[in-house]
Every structure is written in C-alpha cells, then in structure tokens.
Amino acid sequence: MNKKIIKADKLIGEITPPPSKSILHRYIIASSLAKGVSKIENISYSDDIIATIEAMKKLGAKIEKKDNYLLIDGNKTFDKKYLNNNAEINCNESGSTLRFLFPLSLVKKNKILFKGKGKLFKRPLSPYFENFDKCQINYSYINENEILLDGELKSGVYEIDGNISSQFITGLLFSLPLLNGNSKIIIKGKLESSSYIDITLNCLNKFGVNIINNSYREFIIEGNQTYKSGNYQVEADYSQVAFFLVANSIGSNIKINGLNTNSLQGDKKIIDFISEIDKWNKNEKLILDGSETPDIIPILSLKACISKKEIEIVNIARLRIKESDRLKATVQELSKLGFDLIEREDSILINSRENFNKIINNSPVFLSSHLDHRIAMMIAIASTCYDGEIVLDNSDCVKKSYPNFWEVFLSLGGKIYEYLG
C-alpha cells in the first residue's frame, strides 16, 4: 500500500485554486450538446473531468484538450454512428459523470454500457430506475461495476426524491429540453444541495436553454430546445478553496487568488461557517446544518475540533454514500489525532466530553485516506496542528478532484516523504 509521511507547521504562500469541478462538468456537457464550437477556459484535468470528457466523446462530441482550455464541437453529438454501436462509457469513480450521462445517453434510442470502479455503483441510482420503468427503458447490472441501458428517454412527468442527490435532477435538466414534448420534474420531499441546481440552471441559461423553476418544487421544461455554443471561463472551486480557508483560520497564511465572491457554489458557505465558529461565545452547543454542503464537512470538522467549542454538524447522513462513508471516516481519522468526535447516524458531535483526555500529539500516527480525496486533503491541513509525523495511505486519491494538490501543499511549505517502514 502506497504510504507517505506528511508534515507541516504553518502553510505560507500564494495559490490559485483549481477550477470548479461542478461548473466544469456542466460546461463540458452543455458545449457538447451545442451546434457549434465552444471554448472553455481554466481547466484542470482531474480524473472526474477526464471521465466526463471521454463520455461526451462517446456520444459524438469532438473535444480538443489544450493545456488550459477545451475546444468542444457538438455538431455530431447523437449522430447515428455514435448510437447502438456497443459503446461503453467509463465513469471511473465520478458520480457526476454517471448520473448526468445516464439519461443523456438515451436522448435518442440507444443501447450503451456504463462502467465504473470503487464504490460508484454502490451509490444510489434508484431515482432513475423508478422513472426508467415508466419509460420502458431496460437496465441491467452486468456485474457490480457495469450497467447496461437500452431504450429511449421520453418527455413527460418525472418524480425525483430531493434528499438523495441533486445530480439526478441535473441529469434530467440537461436531457429533457432535447426531447420532442414538454416535461415536468416534480421534487418529492425536501430538496438538498439546491445550490447545485442553481449552478445547472445558470449553465443552461448561458447555453440558451430555458427552464421554469417553481420554488424548487417542480421544474417545467419545454421540449425541442437548442443549446447554443459560446466561450466561457470556469471560476475557482470553493470545495477545494475550503481547505485553505480553514488552514488560514487555524494559523496558516495563504493568499488565495481568483475567488468569485458572487459565486453560486454552495460550498462558499465555508466562509460563513468559519465566521460562525470564530464568533460563537455562548456557553452552549453550536449547531451547524451541513445538509447543503456535504463536500466541505471533513474540513469543517477539523475547524470545529480546533475551536475547542462544543459543536454538532447535523443533517449529514448523505456523507455515508460518497467515495467512502465520509461521516465515519472523518470521525475515525480526526480521532486518531487526539480530537474529541462522536459519530452519530446523521451528525458529528465535537468537543462534547468534559473529561476527554487528548493524546500527546508528538508520536507518528497512521491515518487512512479511505481512498477519498476529501479525507486525504483534510488530513493534509490537519498536519499543520499535529506535532508528530502523519503516515497517510493512498494519498494519490486526490487526483479525483485536485491533481496537483500535493504540489501546492509542498509549495506552501508542507513536507512529504516516502514511508519506508
């Protein structure tokens, strides 16, 4: 198993964060559906983004990868030669690629195999399957890492649970405008992560597709719409910036360039969370609602630990169906560093035990990334407040979202060595 020793005091320097993965996925898809050539600037070729690029190429898009931009021609997307040709779409471990492309691949009658790895197909897909049954779309598990789809998406009424993942809604929002008839998406229950829907609607609007949003309860979609090509720049990713913002709040000094203060990204909420923790002076527990921001919960938990204030991060059961059981992983790994965390079904309770004995933190400690990029990056920032060495396994899992994270960590004064034990 690949293990590295990581160590840092303060992180000091200047960074330009990677582009928003959420926005980039959407721009690639929308450009691939547009008749014409689009240029998308500020690119980071993470594993997830490569998966979406290759997926859209399988549906007929012509995509040229340059150093820091993409040229995307959607004129041939859904041409007959790209349909029913035994094509395979390999999503790797990208939930976005899988859930966005599932309905999109069936805009025209098609038979296509989806492949993945890791825990990808253990993440829920039932909201699609329930609707596919109504459309008489056939789906079958070939094995635990492959699903075969056969059929054609039809316009109509789609009901989607709002509390599993907003990605199902985004997949339909991209697909339904291309169908002949009008459609409606009805949201059952409470919609979580609505900011991701805002990002989708903003992207669709830029590319000339109009959706009526009735207070996130239902979405009205006119059929026979046409995507329009354009040139766009991808803004910085707040889910990655969150690691450095927390680092700054616990003693580091990092200048962060290129942030869009008017961003629609929900993970911008990390700024409010940090401020709320720092200002909290009541002699009672602070409750933070993590339902809208699952990706920043690990690094937010580190911030809460360092604060020494009693804090509970609630409504985060969805963390259990990420690349890892991210709720359990966060508690396990930060506990190994001597912090006081208690795992609950839907929350993490932090600094709640009066007689908690913190270990003296100067001995080497063995931590696991759980093959989860956000756990690995959280541990990197945690190393700035641990006196001893941290031995971390599978550190290269950060390639999923932030390929040069460790280079940035080194540039800020962090240290990484091979573990030879």
Give catalytic residue positions: 295
| Strand-by-strand arrangement of the 347-350 sheet | 286-289, 311-314, 347-350, 341-343
- In 3D space, the residue among 293, 244, 236, 297 whose CA is nearest the CA of residue 266 turns out to be 293
Rounded-to-integer distance, Cα 101 and Cα 122, Å: 17
